[in-house]
Structure 1
Amino acid sequence: MPEGERRTSLRDLHHMTSLVQPARVFIDPLDGTRAAVEARRWVWPLLILALCVSASGTFFSLRWDATPDVIRQLQSSGQLMGLSEADLLEKIETESRKALVGGIAKGVLLMPLMALLLACILWLASWLFDRPAPFERLLSAAALALLPIALYHLIFTLCVAAQHSITVARVGNLVPSNLGVVLQGLSPKMQRVASAVDFFNLWSTGLLGLGFSAATGMSRGRGLLLALALYAMYAGVFLIGLPGQGGAQ
């Protein structure tokens, strides 16, 4: 084989490996996560995450019937009285456009920044536990851990695409992945607690612990415990505490 063709074949094989190796975490989380972290595979996981989240935001904005949600918001703020039909239609159109731009921005900007922030938190944890690791490995662990979130958004995209129209109230029931959707009759506070027990979030947490273990050499058990502690703090602040402060008592 000529030298040029051989290099091309090796390059193609490398690109295929870069894509397939992170996908192993779905079928072989123990060895797949370790191999992907050691190989520092973070580019494809981030691209997949950005694509799936952007797709879910885009399809939601295209299927979202903003009228009832905008009217409800205007009624609660007292701005609906005296509002002309033209102004109401303009507000509905503006909210639809904001949903589209926000959905794309969440995938393209927010999710990569979240992965970077998560990697920084892992770096801090590795320093505290005296388990230094290359930052690229920690970034790979963070990006791989977010793949279940990408899968959720892919499923959500398919479900939204099958709808003729959708409202914000129906979004939470479209992919029933947490106990807050399954359990009925809970108080608002317990509803938020139950919603924190989410299948995709816990799956992501497990991969984060395995990835941190692979990056630092910490035992898998301690890595999983650390990831669970981080998720408990995240859920306590962002899924339970802040929504409650916002008036959802």
Structure 2
Amino acid sequence: MTSLVQPVRVFIDPVEGTQTAVEARRWVWPLIILAICVSVSGTLVSLRWDAAPDVIRELQSSGEMATISEADLTDKIQTTSRKALVGGIAKGVFVMPFLALLLAAALWVVTWLLDLKAPFERLMSVAALALLPIALYHVVFAVCAWAQFSLTSARAAQLVPSHLGALLTGLSPGMARVASAVDFFNLWSTALLGLGLSAATGIRRSRGLLLAGVLYVVFAGVMMVGLPGMQMASGGGR
């Protein structure tokens, strides 16, 4: 029971809760909680998702809409819905634990470069605990999605307006991507990451928070701003 309570304590007392969980090397239960929350979210969203608008839009953009039969269109919509269900479950069971492992490996590289000593199991605990706010996001998202009669991709993107881009209007595509990086749950995860790094390596909490902030800026700059911008530019060029 203690193994389960310690990760939950992170939400109530993030400073002491994170330090206690990292020192005790608690990473199994945080990963289980993350996997369950993301899997449930993916399942509920797929059950509410109306795949027809997205499938029709894709067929129109590829020029296949004019030649496809009604029966084939129905089959394609059903197949897309089934893939969404399987993908939602797989994201929780396989993708999120792998991302936690990848994050722990990245933290190991960073601590090695900065000449900070921390056992990998502690860094794995840091990674798993830092992803708990993402698990909470998926719980909120699942509840909001289940309350909808039906859900489209456009509606899903606006269902939980947790980032700055959802609150500001009239932004250019580039600034919208920058604003989307200022996300409540992501910043919460970053703060837990900093507290966890402090507990795992023994550095000051302020230094741990600063290091986590720098890592998030680099991640957001590459994955949330840079790469999407390059994909849009490439698509526009064609």
The structural deviation recorded for 1:54 is: 0.5
% same residue: 70
The structural deviation recorded for 1:240 is: 0.9
CA distance in 2, matches of 1:73, 1:232: 33
Aligned partner of 1:224 among 195, 199, 209: 209
Q: Which amino acid aligns with 1:147?
A: L
TM-score, structure 1 as length reference: 0.92
Matched position secondary structure for 1:246: helix
| 1:82-140, Cα deviation, whole Å (9 max, x unpaired) | 11101111111111011011101100000000000100111111111111111111100
CA distance in 2, matches of 1:184, 1:190: 10
Q: Which amino acid aligns with 2:222?
A: V
1:181–1:195: 8 Å Cα contact kept in structure 2?
A: yes
- The match for 1:211 is 196
The structural deviation recorded for 1:34 is: 0.3
- The match for 1:10 is none
Q: Structure 1 segments of 4 or more deviating over 2 A?
A: none
TM-score, structure 2 as length reference: 0.96
Gaps of 5+ in 1: 1-15
Aligned partner of 2:132 among 128, 133, 147: 147
Gaps of 5+ in 2: none
1:178 equivalent in alignment to 2:178: no
Aligned partner of 2:42 among 57, 73, 77: 57
CA distance in 2, matches of 1:241, 1:127: 27
1:84 equivalent in alignment to 2:65: no
1:172–1:181: 8 Å Cα contact kept in structure 2?
A: no
- The match for 1:243 is 228
1:94 equivalent in alignment to 2:79: yes
Aligned length: 234
1:213–1:223: 8 Å Cα contact kept in structure 2?
A: yes
CA distance in 2, matches of 1:141, 1:216: 11
CA distance in 2, matches of 1:141, 1:60: 29
Tell me how large the CA RMSD over aligned residues is: 1.0
CA distance in 2, matches of 1:187, 1:53: 31
Q: Which amino acid aligns with 1:169?
A: A
Q: Which amino acid aligns with 1:178?
A: H
| 1:219-240, Cα deviation, whole Å (9 max, x unpaired) | 1111111111111111111111
Map of 1:60-79 to 2, 5 A cutoff?
Answer: 60-79=45-64
1:40–1:140: 8 Å Cα contact kept in structure 2?
A: yes
